[in-house]
Structure 1
Amino acid sequence: MQSRNPVESIVYWTLALTWAFYALGALYVVGPVLAWCLGGIAVLSLYLGPALRVDLRPAGAIPWIVWLWCAGMAVMLIALWAGHLDWGLGMGQTIKSSIGWAKGWAMIPLLMVAGAALQIRREVLIRGQNVVGLVTLILLPMLLVAPSIGLPEKIFLSPLKVVGGPGPEYFTVYLYTIDPGSGASRWQFYAPWSPFAGLLGVVMIAFALEDKSRRWMLAGVIAGLAMIFLSKSRMSLVALVVCTVTPRMMPLMLRGFAWQMAAGVAASMAVLGTAVLQTVTDGIAAFKGARADSTRVRETLQRIAYERWQTESVWFGHGTVQPGPHLVEFMPIGSHHTWYGLLFVKGIVGFFALAVPMAVHFWLIAVDSVRHPRGRLPLALMLAMFILTFGENIEIEVYLLWPAFLLLGIHAREMAAEARKSVSASVQPQTG
């Protein structure tokens, strides 16, 4: 993949060297540094404009949907400050939490601004992800045999942990982990834990399916499948189907026969509805029962977070996560679920600060995916991130999801450019 400008080179090599950064325990540092650097370059490009060389000039004005994300994440910071003030958490904790915001929520608008303003092609991200997939396949035999030959689970804790983060697992290099419930081996690849690795596998497949080279596509798809199945994540299995099938079904909404088939299916539910409902119910029960202890802990955490949000701090939340009781194995209240976590930590204000831009952006991408193939990848990524919010705190995982958010900014730029062309085409005949 040849880069057309220095920014593309930075993006491509940062992504391609993912495993090298992981081996150094540096991924949690690299993600925020990259986001803030790209955001700074984007602002500089917008400010200087024609004074820069051609390949570094702005690719266009910032689309309004990106500004909506900027506003939402700014509100998130305000909610954080208000929560800390309400609970008297002190200046030191407020500064620490604000730095956490800069390494989490702030990265989302920064990456989108960079994707919208800078001349970065989506092909660079697609090929970069497939390079990560190829390296994953090369390392896979070693990862698979590690438990059998007695290699340790944890091999390295990076000294970079001194920069601070949610926990030591973000700076630790693992070959594999042991599931405490079943005693079986699980692999988390370059993620801090296995379920997140499964979702990263879904993201990798979504990118790989857009590569024009069949060999690179196969490398990305096979690596993504390995990450999904070896992580043993139930959520990623659901996401695999939803994120690969749904975007490719969207264009059918413009076809008459698709609506006729949908009407036929709807009519058949009058006869088959009860059996289908029972099958779905049984499937959900089996899904939850696959790792019953994990499901119990998650549901209990969510219930505690919701009840304490309702009774203690509705508007701005508690400001930070809090240690949970023995009932939830001391897991922090406000973790393991983005939406319950937002209610608990940042209240209803923080909840809508994410929900509004995500819902509006999801709608724009869904509409574009009906009309244009360019919407398939953004829709797959948005679906993956939406599913992720129901099992993880997306805020602390943006550092690995940065290619997805960067591509959403690129897609927003593409839609805005097409809208400008349409306006110009409609005005030209009148002026002529």
Structure 2
Amino acid sequence: MDQTAHHSRAPEDVVVFFALATTWLFYLVGGLYVLGPVLGVCLTAVLAAKLYFAGSDVAVRPPHRVPAGVWVWIVGMLVMLLALEIGHASNNLGIGQTIKSTIGWAKGWALLALFPLIGACLNIRLETIIRAAGIVALGSLLLTPLLMFAPKVGLPEVIFVSPLKLVGGPGPEFFAIQLYSIEPTDGSTRLRYFTPWSPAAGLIGNMYLIFALADRRKLWKWIGVISALCIIVFSKSRLAIAAALFIWPLVVAIGQARRPGPWLLATVGLFLVTPFAQGILDTIDATLNSVKSMRADSTRVREALGDIAVHRWWTEAPIWGHGVVERGPHFVEFMPIGSHHTWYGLLFVKGIVGALALAIPLLWSLIEFTILAFARSRTGQIALAMVILMTFYSIGENLEILSYLMWPGLVVMGIAAREVATGSEPESP
């Protein structure tokens, strides 16, 4: 039985549960892109109210102190805002564009600091996130057959685009209810589930796989694992498949590093496979080349965009960047320079200052949660897996655009940072 069941749940804990559990309902009205920023702002307002009334006679449960790891994210994202403002001023982009970009920062980069702050300071339980994620996983699993058969029975790709697009966003795909997409190169079907594009579905599938593997309820664990694997496989994202094969085994290995048994087993295994090492390396190399060639055109465009972004960053605006993305030339299919890659995008748009504003918090959290996972903390393992996943996907996606979907993992990062700060006993895995 859940040990926390005997204690009254904080209102913010209930709000987080229902916001996450109703993911599919919000998606079906085109409201997911709105939910993330609104939830982040509202829960931050709750935190501010609790801080205000903490010393008064009003009976409120006091918030926890802000951990050092969360302060690093807050400072990093504020530096990101500073880079944005200076970049716009340096490139004479005007007040209108600056205001628009600042609002974009508030709906993207700012969430990477707000949700860890919420998880660290408000009374939100890890089990709340895991159980609500199980409900989302069940819905995704039940809808998978419908999404797979939709093109076979002649259903349209896009059902409708929500009127909520009027609030503004990166594009209409963030407000579209889309059953599937057809790959133009080979005519294959790719699923997006409740995300704006298929690679994003692969990212979210991996996040839900992390939650499912940490679930202590056997039935819900298997529902979550099968659902997450469906999302990963049917998204047909190369990066998603690589992440699924790499991240959780690495985290588990770190969690077991204090035991002599795994090290002895690994030593014996390494000795036994040594004679076959060259063959194994050749197989891995062939597999990677095969995965890369699955969508050769996409690989070519991404590499060209990266080359353009790095060259123009270094030669034109190395410190503060260009302020905004720019439309690319014909040979990259007019894709925006700075898209499809967090680091190239940061260098091009916000310069070396913006890149460091993300790199330092990521590195801090990677070290902090590795130590926590090493202590066999379940929260630490989930948070570490989330940080590795974000790092993994930073080479194939723009993280800030998808922060409205990653918020459950960001909240767990905050809970883990609180555990580090308080020095509480780690949970048994």
TM-score by length of 1: 0.92
Task: Label 1:136 to 1:261 Cα distance change in 2 as closer, same or farther (>3 A).
Answer: closer
When the two chains are superposed, the root-mean-square deviation of aligned CA atoms in Å is 2.1
CA deviation string 1:174-212 (max 9, x = no partner): 011101111111110000001110111111111112222
Structure-1 separation of matches of 2:60 and 2:288? 51
Match of 2:310 among 306, 310, 324: 306
Greater Cα offset, 210-219 or 187-196: 210-219
SS of 2:336's equivalent in the other structure is coil
Q: Secondary structure at the match of 2:119?
A: helix
Q: Once the 2 structures are TM-superposed, how far is the Cα of residue 119 of structure 1 from its aligned partner? A: 0.6
Matched with 2:101 is: 97
CA distance in 2, matches of 1:54, 1:114: 20
Segments of 5+ residues of structure 1 without an aligned counterpart are: 423-432
Q: Which moved more, 1:405-414 or 1:258-267?
A: 258-267
Q: CA deviation at 1:45?
A: 1.6
Matched, 1:382 2:387: yes
Deviation, structure 1 residue 277: 4.1
Q: What is the SS of the residue equivalent to 2:326?
A: coil
Q: 1:193 aligns with which of 191, 197, 222?
A: 197
Residue type of the partner of 2:232? I
Select between 210-219 and 99-108 the one with higher mean Cα deviation: 210-219
Contact persistence 1:65–1:412 (CA under 8 A): yes
Does residue 1:172 correspond to 2:176, yes or no? yes
CA distance in 2, matches of 1:154, 1:63: 43
Q: Distance in 2 between matches of 1:415 and 1:281?
A: 39
DSSP 3-state at the match of 1:56: coil
Alignment-derived partner of residue 205 in structure 1? 209
* TM-score (norm: length of structure 2): 0.93
1:76 equivalent in alignment to 2:80: yes
In the TM superposition, residue 259 of structure 1 has moved relative to its aligned partner by 4.4
What displacement does 1:129 show? Answer: 0.6
Q: Which amino acid aligns with 1:158?
A: S
Contact persistence 1:45–1:52 (CA under 8 A): no
Change (3 A) 1:234 1:54: farther
1:322–1:333 contact (8 Å) kept in structure 2 = yes
> CA separation in 1, counterparts of 2:276 and 2:150?
49
2:148 to 126, 144, 147: 144
CA distance in 2, matches of 1:130, 1:53: 36
Counterpart CA distance in 2 for 1:379 and 1:173 is 32
Where does residue 420 of structure 2 map in the other structure? Answer: 415
Deviation at 1:257, TM superposition (A): 5.0
3-state SS, counterpart of residue 132 of structure 1: helix
Q: Give the Cα separation in 2 of the matches to 1:53 and 1:180.
A: 60
Distance in structure 1 (CA, Å) of the matches to 2:44 and 2:401? 19
1:5 and 1:55 in contact (8 A); partners too: no
Q: What is the rounded CA distance, in whole Å, between the counterparts of 2:110 and 2:357 in structure 1?
A: 12
1:217–1:54 distance in 2 versus 1, CA, 3 Å: farther
Q: 2 CA distance for matches of 1:258 and 1:211? A: 23
Give aligned-pair identity as a percent.
Answer: 46
Work out the CA distance in 2 between the residues paired with 1:139 and 1:269: 42
State which of 33, 43, 48 in structure 2 corresponds to 1:43: 48
Counterpart of 1:403? 408
- 1:14 corresponds to 2:19: yes
CA contact (8 A) 1:156 1:173 kept: yes
**1:280: which partner in 2?**
284
Aligned counterparts of 1:324 and 1:225: Cα–Cα separation in 2: 34
| Match among 111, 118, 133 for residue 114 of structure 1 | 118
What code does the residue aligned with 1:223 have?
A: S
Cα offsets for 1:217-258 (capped at 9, x unmatched):
222111111101111111111111222211111133223454
Shift of 1:140: 2.1
Matching residue within 147, 157, 160 for 1:153: 157
